[in-house]
Amino acid sequence: MELHLILLFMIIAGIVAVEARDLISSVISLSAAGLGLCLAFLILKAPNLAITQLVVEILCVIILIRATINKDLPLVRDGRWLFNTISTVLFVVCFLAFAYFALKELPNFGEPIMRVSGEYIANSLEKTGSSNIVTAIALNFRGYDALGEAAVLFAAIIGVLAITRKSGRVNEK
Amino acid sequence: MKNNQIGMSLIVKTVTRLTVGLMLVYGIYIVLQGHISPGGGFAGGVIIALSFIQLMLAFGKGAVLKKLGREKCIFLSGLAAFVFLLLAVRGFVARHALGFQEGHSGIFSAGLIPFCDIAVSILVASGLFVIFLALVLLTEEQE
C-alpha cells in the first residue's frame, strides 16, 4: 500500500519535472522523485541500495544545478510537432508490446529464482566473515565485477579530464 | 569584507563550518562499517566527495584547492585503482584468505573486504570530486 502511494508520488513528481517552465523547479521535482525512490527501496528492505540512491541523487542534483544555473535552455516547441508526436507514440507502442511479452517470462514479485543466489545467501557469513551480505556478494563472490565497475569509473574520469583539458582546445575568439 | 564576497552568504558559510566535518566523518564511518552494517565503499566515497563539494560551493574554489588540488586528486584516484587491482591479483594468485577472519564484528574482520572498500571509496571520492572540479572550471572559463 505504501509502495503504491510512493510510486504515485514519483509519477506526479516526474510529470512536474517534465512540464515545469523553470529549470530550477524542474531539477527540484526530479530530486523529489529520487527521494521517493529511496523510500521505496527502504520499504522493500534494501537499506544498502537506499543509501547509495540518496547520495548519488544529491550529487547528480548538485551537478545539474551547477551546470545549468547560468543558462536558460530554449525549449524547442515550434514546427514538426506532428512528426514528434507520431514518433513518440510509435516508440511507446513498440516498447509496451515488447514489454508485454518480455515481462510475462519474469518470476513473480518476491519469488526469485534461487540457483546461484541461494548458495550465496546460505553460506556468505561463514565463507566471507562479513555480516552485511550485500558487501559480501559485491566484493567477495563477485569481486571481479566490482573491479570492472572501478575500471569503468576510472575510464570515465580519464574521459572527462581529456575532454576538458586546456591544451587541445581551439580558441574561437 | 572582501573575504565575504567569495562564495555564498554568511549563513551558508557558518552552517558549512558546522556540518562539513560531520559529513566527512560520517562518510569514513560508512566506508569502514561497510561489511558490518549497510553502507559500502561507493556510498561512503560519494559522501566524502560531497563534503568537499559543499566546502567548495560555500567558500569558493580557492579554499578547497589549497587543501586538495587537482593533481593530488588525479594521483589519489590512480593510486586507489592500482591498489584495488593489486588486491584483485592477490585474490587470483593466493588460494587462502587472510588470517583475521574470526568473529563477525569489528573493522578488521572479513578478510580483504575492508581494504577493497577503502580502495573503492578513495577512487570514488577523488574521481567524483575531480569530475565536479573539471565541470566547474569549464563553465567558469566559458563565461
Q: What is the pLDDT of residues A112-136, one digit of tens each?
A: 777 777 788 887 777 777 777 888 8
Q: Are A159 and B131 in contact (CB under 8 A)?
A: no
Q: What is the pLDDT of residues A70-129, one digit of tens each?
A: 655 555 556 677 888 899 999 999 999 999 989 888 877 767 777 777 788 887 777 777
Q: What is the pLDDT of residues B22-49, one digit of tens each?
A: 999 999 998 888 878 888 888 889 999 8
Q: According to the model, what pLDDT value does residue B107 have?
A: 67
Q: How far is CA B143 from each of CA A62, B37, B97, B118, B137, rounded to the nearest angstrom?
A: 19, 45, 54, 38, 10
Report d(CA A130, CA A142) in Å as an integer.
14
- Lowest-confidence segment of A47-56, A86-95, A157-166, B59-68 by average pLDDT: B59-68
Choose the final residue of a domain: A71, A101, A130.
Answer: A71
B17 half-sphere exposure, CB direction, 13 A CA radius: 6
Report d(CA B58, CA A79) in Å as an integer.
43
Report the mean per-residue pLDDT for chain A: 82
The 10 Å Cβ neighbour count of residue B43 is 25
A44 half-sphere exposure, CB direction, 13 A CA radius: 16
> Based on the domain organization, do A64 and A125 belong to the same domain?
no
Chosen for mutation from B23, B74, B102, B113 (greatest number of chain A CBs closer than 10 Å) is: B113
Q: According to the model, what pLDDT value does residue B98 have?
A: 54
**Grid coordinates 577472519 are at which residue?**
B101
The 8-class DSSP code of residue B59 comes to H
Nearest to B43 among A52, A66, A154 (CB): A52
Choose the final residue of a domain: A51, A71, A91.
Answer: A71
Q: According to the model, what pLDDT value does residue A128 have?
A: 73
Q: According to the model, what pLDDT value does residue A170 have?
A: 63
Is A167's pLDDT higher than 70? no
Which residues does A107 contact at the CB level (< 8 Å), separation at least 6?
A113
> Based on the domain organization, do A130 and A64 belong to the same domain?
no
Q: According to the model, what pLDDT value does residue B1 have?
A: 39
**Do the domain assignments include residue A92?**
no
Contacts of residue A53 in chain B, CB cutoff 8 Å? Answer: none
Interface residues from chain A to B (CB-CB < 8 Å): 47-48, 50-52, 55-56, 58-59, 62-63, 66-67, 70, 125, 128-132, 134-136, 138-140, 143-144, 146-147, 150-151, 153-154, 156-157, 160-161, 164
Q: Are B13 and B59 in contact (CB under 8 A)?
A: yes
Q: What is the pLDDT of residues A31-45, one digit of tens each?
A: 899 999 999 999 988
**Do the domain assignments include residue A159?**
yes
For chain A, the domain total comes to 2
Radius of gyration of chain A (CA): 22
Overall pTM surpassing 0.80 (yes/no)? no
Q: According to the model, what pLDDT value does residue A37 have?
A: 92
Burial A31-68 (b: 16+ CB within 10 A, else e): bbbbbbbbbbbbeeeeebbbbbbbbbbbbeebbbebee
**Do the domain assignments include residue A103?**
no
Is A62's pLDDT higher than 90? no
Mean pLDDT in residue range B71-88:
87
Query: Of all residues in chain A, what percent carry a pLDDT higher than 70?
Result: 88
- Higher local confidence (pLDDT), A109 or A142: A142
Report the gap between the CA of A81 and the closest CA in chain B (Å).
32
Contact check, Cβ <8 Å, B131/A160: yes
**Do the domain assignments include residue A32?**
yes
**Do the domain assignments include residue A86?**
no
Give the ipTM. 0.80
Q: According to the model, what pLDDT value does residue B3 have?
A: 52
Residue A158's domain spans which residues? 121-167
**Do the domain assignments include residue A67?**
yes
Q: Kindly report the length of chain B.
A: 143
Q: According to the model, what pLDDT value does residue B2 have?
A: 46
Is B105's pLDDT higher than 80? no
**Do the domain assignments include residue A3?**
yes
Query: Of all residues in chain A, what percent carry a pLDDT higher than 90?
Result: 20
Q: According to the model, what pLDDT value does residue A79 have?
A: 65
Q: What is the pLDDT of residues B90-100, one digit of tens each?
A: 777 776 555 45
Is B8's pLDDT higher than 80? no
